[in-house]
Homo-oligomer: A and B are copies of this chain.
């Protein structure tokens, strides 16, 4: 199954935005303190920010390794979304936006994982 250009572009854009919102959410969380600085939560945000950046670059250069990386990226994004929901409890706008973007990115990346360039 071939990845259409449009699906690839969507995944690239989702990774870009997911990277950016995770970097911002880390700052938001360390400003807030308390449950926002739970070690596993912050580490997930860091992992998610970094792997989205790598996925983006691999897709931009049509790397044969982008399906494999996008598969891991989708898993990280899903876990990060759950963590943002748990910490934000639906009332923290930054964490809600971050969770939403992580879910969008997980979906786009999972689609890439099942395609072959």
Contacts and interface: CB of A to CB of B under 8 A. Distances in A.
Q: Is the interface of A mostly helix, strand, loop or mixed?
A: helix
B61 A23 contact: yes
Contacts of A53: 53
Nearest to A22: B60
Nearest to A42: B30
Contact of A72 (B37, B39, B68): B68
Interface string A74-95: 0110000000000000000000
Interface of A: 12, 16, 20, 23-24, 26-27, 30-31, 33, 37, 39, 42-43, 46-47, 50-51, 53-54, 56-58, 60-63, 65, 68-69, 72, 75-76
